[in-house]
Amino acid sequence: MTMLDDLTTAAAWPTAYPQGYAVVDVETTGLARDDRIVSAAVYRLDAQGNVEDHWYTLVNPERDPGPVWIHGLTSDALEGAPLFPEIAAEFAARLDGRVLVAHNAIFDWQMIAREYARAESAAPVRQRLCTIALAKQLALPLPNHKLESLAAHFGVEQRQAHNALDDARVLAEAFRPSLHAAAEQGVRLPLLECRPLTEWAASPAASPSPYPSSPYRSNSWRPSRKRPACPYPNPGRYETDKPLKQGMRVAFSGDTSVDRELLEDRTVEAGLHVATSVSRLTSLLVTNDPDAATSKTLKARSFGTPVVDEAAYTQLLRDVAPADG
pLDDT in tens, 62-76: 999 988 888 999 999
Q: Rounded distance, CA 283 to CA 287, Å?
A: 13
Q: Which residues contact 70 (CB under 8 A, 6 or more apart)?
A: 27, 162
> What rounded mean pLDDT belongs to the chain?
85
Average pLDDT over residues 2-31: 72
Average pLDDT over residues 126-133: 92
Q: Give yes or no for residue 265 having a pLDDT over 70.
A: yes
Q: Which residues contact 22 (CB under 8 A, 6 or more apart)?
A: 42, 43, 44, 45, 94, 95, 98, 99, 100, 101, 125
Q: Give yes or no for residue 281 having a pLDDT over 50.
A: yes
Provide the pLDDT for residue 214.
32
Which of 47-56, 229-238, 306-315 has the weakest average pLDDT? 306-315
Average pLDDT over residues 84-110: 94
Is 251 within 8 Å of 296 (Cβ atoms)?
Answer: yes
Q: Give yes or no for residue 5 having a pLDDT over 50.
A: no
Average pLDDT over residues 86-111: 94
Q: Rounded distance, CA 106 to CA 101, Å?
A: 10
Provide the pLDDT for residue 202.
61
- DSSP run (H or E) holding 291: none
Q: Give yes or no for residue 4 having a pLDDT over 60.
A: no
For CA atoms 247, 149, 109, 217, give the dihedral sign: positive
Q: Give yes or no for residue 146 having a pLDDT over 60.
A: yes
- Tell me which of 298 and 259 has the higher pLDDT: 298
Residue 60: pLDDT band (50, 70, 90) is very high
The string of pLDDT tens digits covering residues 177-227 is 999 999 999 999 999 888 877 767 665 443 333 333 333 223 333 344 567
